[in-house]
Amino acid sequence: MTISVSEQTQVVIVGLGYVGLPLTLAFGEHFSCTGFDINSARVEGIKGGHDLHREVSSEQIKRSSVTFTTDPKCIRNADLVIVTVPTPITDDYEPDLNLLTSASKLIGMEFRKRTASETPPVVVFESTTYPGCTEDFCGPLIERESGLVSGDSFYLGYSPERTNFGDQEHSLDSVVKIISGQNSEVEQFIFDAYSKIATAGLHLAESIRVAESAKVIENIQRDLNIALFNELALIFEKMDIDSSAVFDAAATKWNFNRYAPGLVGGHCIPVDPYYLTHAAEQAGHTSKVVLAGRAVNEAMPAVLFEKIMALCTENGLTIETASILFLGATFKPDVSDLRNSKTLTLFGKLSGINSTTQLFEPNVNSEVIGKIVTQLVTETEVLNHRWDLVVIGVEHSKYSEELKDHLFGDKSRTELVVDIPGMLRDHDTISSPYLYWRL
């Protein structure tokens, strides 16, 4: 039996998170598409036009013809099933494949009930994982639950997600998509399907393992480069040299690649390296460079906490009783994602020693963040208060000019500012009444 893409192709996306929902809406513009998730509250919210993660607008959802459901029956006779479930790590820094396991088993159970005359379905995994996971781990789970044979009665593919949350420029349709499949026929099927949504182009990897490897090293490269710049910033700090000035000077050379030091959080960069080092261990290799970079970045919240403590002591502030405002808790600017946020880790260290430390986070629904942090303030409360210490954790574009003027203007009511992302880069060119430190 042959497989091919047509207007009648039935597409199902498994997992409606940060990756899955935009992908579902994109495929829904070209195919009969269903978005499936086991989280009923999430599905009902989407049906009502509300994306809790704020990655897509209410208008995008409402004008779509996509069906959203918690009923796995939609998988049964689908032609293309795309899996976008998260792939976190355990407390021991090992791959946590629980969600991939559940998704693969569920697909297999539904395929067992598949109509016999249907052409073989294609299952494409987008979740970041280690080389070999799709074919050696997920495929056998589907086989066991379905009674079908991978490469014969269903096919596998891998197309790593490249979503950059909060980035309007590098979106799903503007980034080259990597695709791969078990054989040339499957590759063509996946190519024809994804070419409808990836207008920037497709790159056909020579194997599923190559595609898996390419994805995981994309984030490892960033992790290592940020670790280098974090370490450089700390070295130059001890030498009383402005690291930003050093980076500005070095960046005048054509082949110098500049990165910004800072806190490395989220669900990708600090997670993906452990998937490759796990696979490396299985292959008999103990990684050194990759894990060294991880160690540097994992230590940054503690390093910055100690620096803040030292700055307070040097400038006569008692951190245990100081009035402290912390700006931002997400893992990076202009997103609502709190997963593995090292900014939130730093806030936790400060609030652990000063329970009155207040957090202002305009990008996250108060009900969501309120389950994690109780010391939340509104912008009005920020404006009505004098602060001994303001820590800028994340540079959100939602910070109003009034708020910035109140905290950092010429008549600021702030004693000490710790600027981790370098939001006030022009600080030295203006007259400010507060003490200032940036990474």
pLDDT, one tens digit per residue, over 207-233 is 999 999 999 999 999 999 999 999 999
- What is the per-residue pLDDT for 166? 60
Q: Is residue 407 part of a domain?
A: yes
Domain identity same for 161 and 293: no
Q: Is residue 33 part of a domain?
A: yes
What does the pLDDT profile of the chain (439 residues) look like in tens digits? Answer: 578 888 889 999 999 998 999 999 999 999 999 999 999 999 999 999 988 877 888 999 999 999 999 999 999 999 999 999 999 999 999 999 999 999 999 999 999 999 866 789 999 999 999 999 999 999 999 999 999 999 999 999 999 998 766 656 666 777 899 999 999 999 999 999 999 999 889 999 999 999 999 999 999 999 999 999 999 999 999 999 999 999 999 999 999 999 999 999 988 899 999 999 999 999 999 999 999 999 999 999 999 999 999 999 999 999 999 999 999 999 999 988 898 999 999 999 999 999 999 999 999 988 888 889 989 999 999 999 999 999 999 999 999 999 998 998 888 878 999 999 999 987 655 557 788 999 8
Domain identity same for 254 and 400: yes
CB 137 within 8 A of CB 97: yes
Q: Is residue 325 part of a domain?
A: yes
The Cα–Cα gap between 96 and 249 comes to: 42
- What is the per-residue pLDDT for 117? 66
* Greatest CA separation for the chain: 78
The Cα–Cα gap between 255 and 299 comes to: 29
Domain identity same for 104 and 187: yes
Q: What is the pTM of this model?
A: 0.91
DSSP one-letter code for 251: T
Q: Is residue 271 part of a domain?
A: yes
- Residue where a domain stops, chosen among 154, 187, 206: 206
- Residue where a domain stops, chosen among 206, 229, 261: 206
Domain identity same for 291 and 186: no
Copy the structure tokens of residue 252.
């005048």
Q: Is residue 226 part of a domain?
A: no
Domain identity same for 312 and 168: no
**Domain span at 324:** 244-438
DSSP one-letter code for 181: B
Q: What is the pLDDT of residues 148-180, one digit of tens each?
A: 999 999 999 999 998 766 656 666 777 899 999
Q: Is residue 224 part of a domain?
A: no
Domain total in the chain: 2
> If DSSP codes are grouped into helix, strand and coil, which group holds residue 95?
strand
Catalytic residues: 268
- Residue where a domain stops, chosen among 206, 224, 257: 206
Closest CA to 273 of 339, 344, 225, 345: 225
- The CATH number for 381's domain is 3.40.50.720
Q: Is residue 215 part of a domain?
A: no
CB 287 within 8 A of CB 280: yes
Q: Is residue 331 part of a domain?
A: yes
Domain identity same for 174 and 319: no
Domain identity same for 199 and 332: no
Structural element, H or E, at residue 295: helix 289-314
